Structure 1
Amino acid sequence: MNKRKITSGLLSLVIISTAAGCSSIRTSNDPRDPMENWNRKVQTFNDNVDKYFMKPVGQGYQWVMPSFADQAVTNFFSNINDIGVTINDLMQLKVAQSGSDGARFIVNSVAGIGGLIDVATMIDLPKHDEDFDQTLGVWGVPTGPYMVIPLFGSSTPRGISGAAGDAAMNPISYLDSGIITSGLFGLNAIDKRADNLTTEKIASEAAVDRYEFFKNAYLQRRKYLVYDGNLPEDEYDLEFDADDENGAPLHPY
Protein backbone atom coordinates (compact mmCIF):
# COMPACT_ATOMS: atom_id res chain seq x y z
CA MET A 1 0.00 0.00 0.00
CA ASN A 2 1.52 3.34 -0.98
CA LYS A 3 1.68 6.44 1.18
CA ARG A 4 -1.13 8.21 -0.66
CA LYS A 5 -3.50 5.36 0.14
CA ILE A 6 -2.29 5.24 3.74
CA THR A 7 -2.80 9.00 4.14
CA SER A 8 -6.24 8.81 2.55
CA GLY A 9 -7.19 5.93 4.83
CA LEU A 10 -5.99 7.73 7.96
CA LEU A 11 -7.90 10.88 7.05
CA SER A 12 -11.04 8.85 6.34
CA LEU A 13 -10.69 7.07 9.69
CA VAL A 14 -10.23 10.39 11.48
CA ILE A 15 -13.32 11.89 9.84
CA ILE A 16 -15.43 8.76 10.52
CA SER A 17 -14.34 8.51 14.16
CA THR A 18 -15.03 12.21 14.69
CA ALA A 19 -18.44 11.95 13.06
CA ALA A 20 -19.27 8.87 15.15
CA GLY A 21 -18.66 10.84 18.33
CA CYS A 22 -20.95 13.67 17.28
CA SER A 23 -24.04 11.79 18.46
CA SER A 24 -22.87 12.10 22.08
CA ILE A 25 -21.49 15.61 21.82
CA ARG A 26 -22.56 18.18 24.37
CA THR A 27 -22.18 21.64 22.94
CA SER A 28 -20.38 24.44 24.75
CA ASN A 29 -20.96 28.18 24.93
CA ASP A 30 -17.89 28.82 22.79
CA PRO A 31 -19.08 29.23 19.17
CA ARG A 32 -15.62 28.21 17.97
CA ASP A 33 -15.90 24.89 19.78
CA PRO A 34 -19.39 23.34 19.51
CA MET A 35 -17.96 19.83 20.05
CA GLU A 36 -16.10 20.60 23.28
CA ASN A 37 -17.29 17.53 25.19
CA TRP A 38 -16.07 15.19 22.44
CA ASN A 39 -12.90 17.20 21.88
CA ARG A 40 -11.91 17.03 25.55
CA LYS A 41 -12.27 13.24 25.53
CA VAL A 42 -10.11 12.96 22.42
CA GLN A 43 -7.48 15.24 23.92
CA THR A 44 -7.38 13.05 27.02
CA PHE A 45 -6.81 10.04 24.75
CA ASN A 46 -4.09 11.90 22.82
CA ASP A 47 -2.44 13.05 26.05
CA ASN A 48 -2.28 9.45 27.26
CA VAL A 49 -0.77 8.28 23.97
CA ASP A 50 1.79 11.05 24.25
CA LYS A 51 2.51 10.37 27.93
CA TYR A 52 3.05 6.64 27.58
CA PHE A 53 4.49 6.46 24.06
CA MET A 54 5.50 9.58 22.13
CA LYS A 55 7.08 11.50 25.00
CA PRO A 56 9.25 8.58 26.20
CA VAL A 57 10.28 7.87 22.61
CA GLY A 58 11.13 11.55 22.11
CA GLN A 59 13.16 11.61 25.31
CA GLY A 60 15.02 8.46 24.29
CA TYR A 61 15.67 9.88 20.83
CA GLN A 62 17.04 13.10 22.30
CA TRP A 63 19.26 11.14 24.71
CA VAL A 64 20.67 8.84 22.00
CA MET A 65 21.13 11.38 19.21
CA PRO A 66 24.16 13.69 19.33
CA SER A 67 23.09 17.33 19.04
CA PHE A 68 24.64 17.74 15.58
CA ALA A 69 22.83 14.64 14.28
CA ASP A 70 19.55 15.78 15.82
CA GLN A 71 19.92 19.16 14.10
CA ALA A 72 20.81 17.47 10.80
CA VAL A 73 17.60 15.42 10.90
CA THR A 74 15.56 18.53 11.68
CA ASN A 75 17.25 20.39 8.81
CA PHE A 76 16.59 17.51 6.40
CA PHE A 77 12.84 17.49 6.97
CA SER A 78 12.71 21.29 7.05
CA ASN A 79 14.36 21.32 3.62
CA ILE A 80 11.80 18.90 2.20
CA ASN A 81 9.06 21.05 3.71
CA ASP A 82 10.38 24.02 1.71
CA ILE A 83 9.00 22.37 -1.45
CA GLY A 84 5.46 22.70 -0.14
CA VAL A 85 6.22 26.14 1.24
CA THR A 86 7.31 27.31 -2.22
CA ILE A 87 4.19 25.86 -3.88
CA ASN A 88 1.92 27.49 -1.30
CA ASP A 89 3.76 30.79 -1.82
CA LEU A 90 2.81 30.66 -5.49
CA MET A 91 -0.81 29.73 -4.76
CA GLN A 92 -1.01 32.74 -2.43
CA LEU A 93 0.59 34.95 -5.12
CA LYS A 94 3.65 35.64 -2.95
CA VAL A 95 5.91 35.62 -5.98
CA ALA A 96 9.01 37.19 -4.43
CA GLN A 97 8.79 34.94 -1.38
CA SER A 98 8.36 31.86 -3.58
CA GLY A 99 11.60 32.76 -5.34
CA SER A 100 13.38 33.07 -2.00
CA ASP A 101 11.99 29.78 -0.69
CA GLY A 102 12.74 27.99 -3.95
CA ALA A 103 16.31 29.27 -3.82
CA ARG A 104 16.52 28.17 -0.20
CA PHE A 105 15.59 24.61 -1.15
CA ILE A 106 18.12 24.50 -4.00
CA VAL A 107 20.94 25.93 -1.88
CA ASN A 108 20.34 23.56 1.02
CA SER A 109 19.87 20.55 -1.26
CA VAL A 110 23.15 21.17 -3.08
CA ALA A 111 25.48 23.04 -0.72
CA GLY A 112 23.80 21.66 2.41
CA ILE A 113 24.29 18.01 1.42
CA GLY A 114 20.65 17.13 0.83
CA GLY A 115 19.43 19.61 3.41
CA LEU A 116 21.39 18.23 6.36
CA ILE A 117 23.07 21.63 6.80
CA ASP A 118 21.04 24.84 6.73
CA VAL A 119 23.36 26.82 4.47
CA ALA A 120 20.48 29.04 3.30
CA THR A 121 20.05 30.60 6.73
CA MET A 122 23.78 31.29 6.83
CA ILE A 123 23.46 33.40 3.66
CA ASP A 124 20.31 35.21 4.83
CA LEU A 125 17.64 33.20 3.02
CA PRO A 126 15.03 33.03 5.80
CA LYS A 127 12.74 30.11 6.54
CA HIS A 128 9.03 30.84 5.95
CA ASP A 129 6.01 29.00 7.32
CA GLU A 130 3.39 28.43 4.63
CA ASP A 131 1.05 25.46 4.28
CA PHE A 132 -2.10 24.52 2.42
CA ASP A 133 -4.34 25.37 5.37
CA GLN A 134 -3.06 28.94 5.13
CA THR A 135 -3.57 28.91 1.37
CA LEU A 136 -7.19 27.84 1.81
CA GLY A 137 -7.63 30.62 4.37
CA VAL A 138 -6.20 33.19 1.95
CA TRP A 139 -8.61 31.91 -0.70
CA GLY A 140 -11.51 32.58 1.65
CA VAL A 141 -12.26 29.06 2.89
CA PRO A 142 -13.65 29.32 6.46
CA THR A 143 -11.87 27.49 9.24
CA GLY A 144 -14.94 25.78 10.65
CA PRO A 145 -15.30 24.55 14.23
CA TYR A 146 -12.37 23.53 16.40
CA MET A 147 -11.72 19.79 16.40
CA VAL A 148 -9.30 17.50 18.23
CA ILE A 149 -8.34 14.63 15.94
CA PRO A 150 -7.33 11.25 17.39
CA LEU A 151 -3.51 10.92 17.29
CA PHE A 152 -3.14 14.16 15.29
CA GLY A 153 -4.32 16.76 17.80
CA SER A 154 -5.76 20.24 17.28
CA SER A 155 -7.32 20.97 13.92
CA THR A 156 -10.40 22.21 12.06
CA PRO A 157 -12.23 20.97 8.93
CA ARG A 158 -10.06 23.31 6.88
CA GLY A 159 -7.00 22.09 8.75
CA ILE A 160 -7.76 18.48 7.77
CA SER A 161 -8.02 19.49 4.12
CA GLY A 162 -4.80 21.46 4.49
CA ALA A 163 -2.99 18.43 5.92
CA ALA A 164 -4.12 16.32 2.96
CA GLY A 165 -2.87 18.99 0.55
CA ASP A 166 0.49 19.23 2.31
CA ALA A 167 0.88 15.44 2.15
CA ALA A 168 0.29 15.61 -1.60
CA MET A 169 3.08 18.20 -1.93
CA ASN A 170 5.57 16.14 0.08
CA PRO A 171 7.84 14.01 -2.15
CA ILE A 172 8.21 11.44 0.63
CA SER A 173 4.59 10.47 -0.05
CA TYR A 174 5.56 9.21 -3.50
CA LEU A 175 8.42 6.88 -2.60
CA ASP A 176 7.95 3.35 -3.96
CA SER A 177 8.73 1.68 -0.64
CA GLY A 178 5.96 1.98 1.93
CA ILE A 179 8.35 0.92 4.67
CA ILE A 180 10.81 3.71 3.86
CA THR A 181 7.98 6.24 3.53
CA SER A 182 6.43 5.25 6.85
CA GLY A 183 9.85 5.22 8.50
CA LEU A 184 10.66 8.73 7.32
CA PHE A 185 7.31 10.13 8.44
CA GLY A 186 7.75 8.35 11.77
CA LEU A 187 11.26 9.76 12.20
CA ASN A 188 9.95 13.24 11.43
CA ALA A 189 7.21 12.88 14.08
CA ILE A 190 9.70 11.66 16.69
CA ASP A 191 12.17 14.43 15.85
CA LYS A 192 9.45 17.07 16.23
CA ARG A 193 8.29 15.58 19.53
CA ALA A 194 11.84 15.59 20.86
CA ASP A 195 12.34 19.20 19.79
CA ASN A 196 9.14 20.22 21.61
CA LEU A 197 9.87 18.56 24.96
CA THR A 198 10.86 21.79 26.69
CA THR A 199 8.15 23.91 25.07
CA GLU A 200 5.42 21.42 25.94
CA LYS A 201 6.54 21.25 29.56
CA ILE A 202 6.47 25.03 29.96
CA ALA A 203 3.05 25.28 28.28
CA SER A 204 1.54 22.52 30.41
CA GLU A 205 2.82 24.01 33.65
CA ALA A 206 1.59 27.48 32.72
CA ALA A 207 -1.91 26.38 31.69
CA VAL A 208 -4.75 26.54 34.21
CA ASP A 209 -6.96 24.60 31.77
CA ARG A 210 -4.73 22.57 29.43
CA TYR A 211 -7.53 22.05 26.91
CA GLU A 212 -8.45 25.74 26.67
CA PHE A 213 -4.77 26.70 26.49
CA PHE A 214 -4.01 24.49 23.50
CA LYS A 215 -7.29 25.33 21.77
CA ASN A 216 -6.71 29.07 21.96
CA ALA A 217 -3.03 28.72 21.07
CA TYR A 218 -3.90 26.69 17.96
CA LEU A 219 -6.69 28.94 16.70
CA GLN A 220 -4.76 32.15 17.34
CA ARG A 221 -1.61 30.82 15.67
CA ARG A 222 -3.52 29.67 12.56
CA LYS A 223 -5.21 33.06 12.31
CA TYR A 224 -1.87 34.83 12.75
CA LEU A 225 -0.29 32.74 9.98
CA VAL A 226 -3.13 33.30 7.50
CA TYR A 227 -2.87 37.06 7.96
CA ASP A 228 0.96 36.98 8.08
CA GLY A 229 0.79 38.68 11.46
CA ASN A 230 -1.23 41.65 10.15
CA LEU A 231 -4.40 40.94 12.08
CA PRO A 232 -7.40 43.23 11.40
CA GLU A 233 -8.57 44.89 14.60
CA ASP A 234 -12.19 43.87 14.03
CA GLU A 235 -11.47 40.19 13.43
CA TYR A 236 -12.33 37.54 15.97
CA ASP A 237 -11.17 33.94 16.19
CA LEU A 238 -14.52 32.68 14.92
CA GLU A 239 -17.87 34.36 14.43
CA PHE A 240 -21.13 32.91 13.25
CA ASP A 241 -23.76 34.83 11.34
CA ALA A 242 -27.09 34.48 13.12
CA ASP A 243 -28.84 34.87 9.75
CA ASP A 244 -26.92 31.96 8.24
CA GLU A 245 -28.91 28.80 8.93
CA ASN A 246 -25.84 26.68 8.26
CA GLY A 247 -23.84 28.50 10.90
CA ALA A 248 -21.05 29.24 8.43
CA PRO A 249 -18.20 31.22 9.92
CA LEU A 250 -18.00 34.82 8.75
CA HIS A 251 -14.25 35.04 8.70
CA PRO A 252 -11.73 32.61 7.23
CA TYR A 253 -8.64 32.26 9.42
Structure 2
Amino acid sequence: MKKNITSKFAQALVLGGAVVALAGCTARLANPDDPLESYNRAMFAFNEKVDEVAVQPVARAYDKVAPLPVRTGVGNFFGNVGDVWIGGNNLLQGKFTDGLGDLLRFALNSTVGIFGVFDVASELNLPKHDEDFGQTLGWWGVGEGAYFVAPFFGPRTIRDALVLPVDLYGDSVWGIGDVPTRNSLTALRFVHARAALLGIDKTLEEGTLDKYAYARDFYLQQRRYRVFDGNPPLEDPDLNGAGRQDGQRVKPDAQ
Protein backbone atom coordinates (compact mmCIF):
# COMPACT_ATOMS: atom_id res chain seq x y z
CA MET A 1 0.00 0.00 0.00
CA LYS A 2 2.77 2.36 1.00
CA LYS A 3 4.63 1.45 -2.19
CA ASN A 4 1.57 2.31 -4.33
CA ILE A 5 1.21 5.68 -2.60
CA THR A 6 4.89 6.42 -3.16
CA SER A 7 4.59 5.43 -6.81
CA LYS A 8 1.54 7.65 -7.35
CA PHE A 9 3.29 10.54 -5.61
CA ALA A 10 6.31 10.11 -7.90
CA GLN A 11 4.04 10.04 -10.94
CA ALA A 12 2.33 13.20 -9.75
CA LEU A 13 5.70 14.92 -9.36
CA VAL A 14 6.71 13.90 -12.90
CA LEU A 15 3.38 15.08 -14.31
CA GLY A 16 3.65 18.36 -12.41
CA GLY A 17 7.18 18.88 -13.69
CA ALA A 18 6.02 18.22 -17.23
CA VAL A 19 3.24 20.79 -16.86
CA VAL A 20 5.67 23.37 -15.49
CA ALA A 21 8.12 22.66 -18.31
CA LEU A 22 5.36 22.92 -20.89
CA ALA A 23 4.22 26.22 -19.39
CA GLY A 24 7.79 27.48 -19.54
CA CYS A 25 8.09 26.50 -23.20
CA THR A 26 4.79 28.18 -23.95
CA ALA A 27 5.99 31.37 -22.28
CA ARG A 28 9.22 31.29 -24.26
CA LEU A 29 7.33 30.71 -27.50
CA ALA A 30 4.94 33.61 -26.91
CA ASN A 31 5.13 36.01 -29.85
CA PRO A 32 6.85 39.26 -28.78
CA ASP A 33 4.94 41.06 -31.53
CA ASP A 34 1.71 40.21 -29.71
CA PRO A 35 1.87 41.12 -25.99
CA LEU A 36 -1.87 41.88 -26.13
CA GLU A 37 -2.71 38.39 -27.37
CA SER A 38 -5.45 37.67 -24.83
CA TYR A 39 -7.34 40.84 -25.76
CA ASN A 40 -6.57 40.39 -29.45
CA ARG A 41 -7.91 36.85 -29.55
CA ALA A 42 -11.13 37.96 -27.85
CA MET A 43 -11.56 40.87 -30.27
CA PHE A 44 -10.69 38.62 -33.22
CA ALA A 45 -13.43 36.23 -32.14
CA PHE A 46 -15.87 39.14 -31.76
CA ASN A 47 -15.06 40.46 -35.24
CA GLU A 48 -15.40 36.95 -36.66
CA LYS A 49 -18.86 36.60 -35.16
CA VAL A 50 -19.97 40.00 -36.47
CA ASP A 51 -18.63 39.05 -39.88
CA GLU A 52 -20.40 35.69 -39.83
CA VAL A 53 -23.76 37.08 -38.75
CA ALA A 54 -23.95 40.49 -40.42
CA VAL A 55 -21.28 40.95 -43.09
CA GLN A 56 -20.79 37.66 -44.90
CA PRO A 57 -24.46 37.21 -45.85
CA VAL A 58 -24.54 40.68 -47.43
CA ALA A 59 -21.21 40.11 -49.18
CA ARG A 60 -22.41 36.78 -50.58
CA ALA A 61 -25.62 38.37 -51.83
CA TYR A 62 -23.64 41.17 -53.48
CA ASP A 63 -21.26 38.67 -55.08
CA LYS A 64 -24.19 36.66 -56.40
CA VAL A 65 -26.33 39.55 -57.66
CA ALA A 66 -23.69 41.91 -59.09
CA PRO A 67 -22.18 40.68 -62.36
CA LEU A 68 -18.41 40.72 -62.77
CA PRO A 69 -18.30 43.91 -64.91
CA VAL A 70 -20.24 45.77 -62.20
CA ARG A 71 -17.94 44.52 -59.43
CA THR A 72 -14.92 45.47 -61.52
CA GLY A 73 -16.30 48.97 -62.04
CA VAL A 74 -17.05 49.37 -58.34
CA GLY A 75 -13.54 48.27 -57.43
CA ASN A 76 -12.04 50.65 -59.98
CA PHE A 77 -14.12 53.54 -58.67
CA PHE A 78 -13.02 53.13 -55.07
CA GLY A 79 -9.45 52.47 -56.14
CA ASN A 80 -9.52 55.74 -58.05
CA VAL A 81 -10.78 57.90 -55.19
CA GLY A 82 -8.14 56.32 -52.97
CA ASP A 83 -5.33 57.44 -55.28
CA VAL A 84 -5.54 61.01 -53.92
CA TRP A 85 -4.61 59.99 -50.36
CA ILE A 86 -2.12 57.45 -51.66
CA GLY A 87 -0.44 60.15 -53.72
CA GLY A 88 -0.33 62.51 -50.74
CA ASN A 89 1.40 59.89 -48.61
CA ASN A 90 3.91 59.13 -51.34
CA LEU A 91 4.74 62.83 -51.47
CA LEU A 92 5.10 62.93 -47.68
CA GLN A 93 7.55 60.04 -47.94
CA GLY A 94 9.61 61.96 -50.49
CA LYS A 95 8.68 59.62 -53.33
CA PHE A 96 7.73 62.42 -55.67
CA THR A 97 7.64 60.39 -58.88
CA ASP A 98 5.22 57.89 -57.34
CA GLY A 99 3.15 60.65 -55.74
CA LEU A 100 2.76 62.63 -58.95
CA GLY A 101 1.98 59.40 -60.77
CA ASP A 102 -0.84 58.66 -58.29
CA LEU A 103 -2.34 62.12 -58.84
CA LEU A 104 -2.04 61.68 -62.60
CA ARG A 105 -3.82 58.33 -62.28
CA PHE A 106 -6.67 60.06 -60.47
CA ALA A 107 -6.90 62.79 -63.11
CA LEU A 108 -6.96 60.34 -66.01
CA ASN A 109 -9.35 57.85 -64.47
CA SER A 110 -11.71 60.56 -63.23
CA THR A 111 -12.04 62.02 -66.73
CA VAL A 112 -11.21 59.55 -69.48
CA GLY A 113 -12.11 56.64 -67.19
CA ILE A 114 -15.55 58.15 -66.40
CA PHE A 115 -15.26 58.86 -62.67
CA GLY A 116 -12.84 55.99 -62.23
CA VAL A 117 -15.16 53.22 -63.39
CA PHE A 118 -12.57 52.30 -66.01
CA ASP A 119 -8.91 51.99 -65.03
CA VAL A 120 -7.40 53.82 -68.00
CA ALA A 121 -4.24 54.70 -66.05
CA SER A 122 -3.21 51.07 -65.63
CA GLU A 123 -3.69 50.52 -69.35
CA LEU A 124 -1.21 53.38 -69.85
CA ASN A 125 1.27 51.63 -67.52
CA LEU A 126 0.83 54.02 -64.59
CA PRO A 127 1.31 51.67 -61.61
CA LYS A 128 -1.17 51.47 -58.75
CA HIS A 129 0.34 52.00 -55.28
CA ASP A 130 -0.89 51.31 -51.76
CA GLU A 131 0.08 53.87 -49.13
CA ASP A 132 -1.45 55.30 -45.98
CA PHE A 133 -0.33 57.50 -43.10
CA GLY A 134 0.78 54.56 -40.99
CA GLN A 135 3.12 53.53 -43.78
CA THR A 136 4.36 57.11 -44.03
CA LEU A 137 5.29 57.10 -40.34
CA GLY A 138 6.92 53.71 -40.75
CA TRP A 139 8.89 55.02 -43.72
CA TRP A 140 10.36 57.74 -41.48
CA GLY A 141 11.29 55.26 -38.78
CA VAL A 142 8.33 55.34 -36.37
CA GLY A 143 8.09 51.90 -34.80
CA GLU A 144 5.00 49.82 -35.40
CA GLY A 145 4.44 48.85 -31.78
CA ALA A 146 2.49 45.77 -30.75
CA TYR A 147 0.02 43.92 -32.90
CA PHE A 148 -3.51 45.13 -32.21
CA VAL A 149 -6.94 43.95 -33.37
CA ALA A 150 -9.29 46.91 -33.63
CA PRO A 151 -13.06 46.46 -33.21
CA PHE A 152 -14.64 46.12 -36.69
CA PHE A 153 -11.49 47.41 -38.45
CA GLY A 154 -9.54 44.22 -37.73
CA PRO A 155 -5.73 43.73 -37.73
CA ARG A 156 -3.58 46.76 -37.05
CA THR A 157 -0.46 47.70 -35.17
CA ILE A 158 -0.52 50.26 -32.36
CA ARG A 159 1.05 52.82 -34.68
CA ASP A 160 -1.53 52.25 -37.41
CA ALA A 161 -4.44 52.15 -34.96
CA LEU A 162 -3.45 55.51 -33.46
CA VAL A 163 -3.33 57.21 -36.87
CA LEU A 164 -6.50 55.58 -38.16
CA PRO A 165 -8.44 58.86 -37.64
CA VAL A 166 -5.88 60.60 -39.87
CA ASP A 167 -6.41 58.05 -42.64
CA LEU A 168 -10.17 58.40 -42.28
CA TYR A 169 -9.88 62.17 -42.46
CA GLY A 170 -7.82 61.93 -45.64
CA ASP A 171 -10.12 59.37 -47.20
CA SER A 172 -12.13 60.85 -50.08
CA VAL A 173 -15.26 58.84 -49.24
CA TRP A 174 -15.24 59.59 -45.51
CA GLY A 175 -14.74 63.26 -46.37
CA ILE A 176 -18.03 63.56 -48.28
CA GLY A 177 -20.23 66.13 -46.58
CA ASP A 178 -23.58 64.61 -47.50
CA VAL A 179 -24.13 61.98 -44.82
CA PRO A 180 -26.47 59.61 -46.73
CA THR A 181 -24.12 59.58 -49.73
CA ARG A 182 -21.09 59.05 -47.52
CA ASN A 183 -22.72 56.22 -45.61
CA SER A 184 -23.99 54.51 -48.76
CA LEU A 185 -20.60 54.64 -50.46
CA THR A 186 -18.83 53.50 -47.28
CA ALA A 187 -21.17 50.51 -46.96
CA LEU A 188 -20.76 49.62 -50.64
CA ARG A 189 -16.98 49.78 -50.43
CA PHE A 190 -16.94 47.64 -47.29
CA VAL A 191 -19.24 45.00 -48.79
CA HIS A 192 -17.28 44.98 -52.05
CA ALA A 193 -13.99 44.50 -50.21
CA ARG A 194 -15.46 41.68 -48.10
CA ALA A 195 -16.91 39.97 -51.16
CA ALA A 196 -13.45 39.91 -52.73
CA LEU A 197 -12.23 37.83 -49.76
CA LEU A 198 -14.99 35.23 -49.76
CA GLY A 199 -12.83 32.59 -51.42
CA ILE A 200 -10.18 32.87 -48.72
CA ASP A 201 -12.47 31.84 -45.83
CA LYS A 202 -12.62 28.15 -46.67
CA THR A 203 -8.88 28.04 -47.34
CA LEU A 204 -8.13 29.53 -43.91
CA GLU A 205 -10.53 27.20 -42.14
CA GLU A 206 -9.12 24.09 -43.77
CA GLY A 207 -5.47 25.09 -44.06
CA THR A 208 -4.57 26.17 -40.53
CA LEU A 209 -5.13 24.96 -36.98
CA ASP A 210 -4.94 28.48 -35.52
CA LYS A 211 -6.72 30.99 -37.75
CA TYR A 212 -5.89 33.87 -35.42
CA ALA A 213 -2.12 33.22 -35.44
CA TYR A 214 -2.13 32.76 -39.21
CA ALA A 215 -4.02 36.02 -39.77
CA ARG A 216 -1.68 37.89 -37.38
CA ASP A 217 1.55 36.61 -38.91
CA PHE A 218 0.33 37.16 -42.45
CA TYR A 219 -0.79 40.71 -41.67
CA LEU A 220 2.47 41.71 -39.97
CA GLN A 221 4.56 40.23 -42.77
CA GLN A 222 2.55 41.99 -45.47
CA ARG A 223 2.46 45.25 -43.52
CA ARG A 224 6.24 45.38 -43.15
CA TYR A 225 6.62 44.48 -46.81
CA ARG A 226 4.45 47.45 -47.78
CA VAL A 227 6.05 49.91 -45.38
CA PHE A 228 9.46 49.18 -46.85
CA ASP A 229 8.26 48.88 -50.46
CA GLY A 230 9.16 45.22 -50.73
CA ASN A 231 12.55 45.56 -49.02
CA PRO A 232 11.99 45.12 -45.26
CA PRO A 233 14.95 45.26 -42.84
CA LEU A 234 17.08 42.18 -42.48
CA GLU A 235 15.86 40.17 -39.53
CA ASP A 236 18.09 39.72 -36.50
CA PRO A 237 17.02 36.68 -34.43
CA ASP A 238 18.65 38.21 -31.33
CA LEU A 239 16.75 41.49 -31.64
CA ASN A 240 13.62 41.70 -29.45
CA GLY A 241 13.49 37.92 -29.55
CA ALA A 242 11.35 38.14 -32.66
CA GLY A 243 13.71 38.87 -35.50
CA ARG A 244 12.24 42.33 -36.13
CA GLN A 245 13.58 45.84 -36.03
CA ASP A 246 10.49 47.84 -35.11
CA GLY A 247 10.40 49.97 -38.22
CA GLN A 248 14.12 50.68 -38.43
CA ARG A 249 15.16 51.19 -42.03
CA VAL A 250 18.22 49.39 -43.34
CA LYS A 251 20.88 51.84 -44.42
CA PRO A 252 21.75 51.71 -48.13
CA ASP A 253 25.26 50.45 -47.46
CA ALA A 254 23.81 47.59 -45.41
CA GLN A 255 21.48 46.32 -48.09
TM-score range for the pair, normalised by the shorter chain length = 0.7 to 0.9
Provide TM-score, normalisation by structure 2: 0.80
**Alignment-derived partner of residue 95 in structure 2:** 94
**Alignment-derived partner of residue 10 in structure 1:** none
**Alignment-derived partner of residue 205 in structure 1:** 206
Q: How many residues align?
A: 220
1:56 & 1:223 partners in 2: Cα distance?
32
**Alignment-derived partner of residue 189 in structure 2:** 188
Q: Secondary structure at the match of 1:173?
A: coil
Counterpart contact for 2:76–2:116, Cα < 8 Å: yes
Counterpart contact for 1:240–1:250, Cα < 8 Å: no
**Alignment-derived partner of residue 71 in structure 1:** 72
Structure 1 residues 129 and 174: alpha-carbon distance in aligned structure 2, compared to 1, 3 A threshold: closer
1:162 CA drift (Å): 3.5
1:199 CA drift (Å): 2.5
List structure 1 segments (4+ residues) > 4 angstroms apart after TM superposition.
Answer: none
Greater Cα radius of gyration, structure 1 or 2? 2
Q: Which structure ranks higher in relative contact order (CA pairs < 8 Å, sequence separation ≥ 6)?
A: 1
Q: CA RMSD in A?
A: 2.2
Counterpart contact for 1:136–1:162, Cα < 8 Å: no
Counterpart contact for 1:132–1:166, Cα < 8 Å: yes
**Alignment-derived partner of residue 247 in structure 2:** 252
**Alignment-derived partner of residue 80 in structure 1:** 81
1:152 & 1:90 partners in 2: Cα distance?
26
**Alignment-derived partner of residue 6 in structure 2:** none
1:160 CA drift (Å): 1.3
Q: Secondary structure at the match of 1:171?
A: coil
Aligned amino acid, residue 67 of structure 2: P
1:250 CA drift (Å): 5.3
Aligned amino acid, residue 148 of structure 1: V
Provide TM-score, normalisation by structure 1: 0.81
What residue ranges of structure 2 are gaps of 5+ in the alignment? 1-26, 249-255
Counterpart contact for 2:235–2:245, Cα < 8 Å: no
1:155 CA drift (Å): 0.9
Percent identity reads 37
2:54 & 2:174 partners in 1: Cα distance?
24
Where do 1:151-162 residues align within 5 Å? 151-162=152-163
Deviation by residue 1:189-245 (Cα, 9 ceiling, x = unmatched): 000001111133323322221010000011111111111111232357x8379xxxx
Q: Secondary structure at the match of 2:155?
A: strand
**Alignment-derived partner of residue 6 in structure 1:** none
Counterpart contact for 2:80–2:116, Cα < 8 Å: yes
What residue ranges of structure 1 are gaps of 5+ in the alignment? 1-25, 242-248
1:65 CA drift (Å): 0.7
Where do 1:1-253 residues align within 5 Å? 29-234=30-235, 239=240, 251-252=246-247
2:106 & 2:57 partners in 1: Cα distance?
32
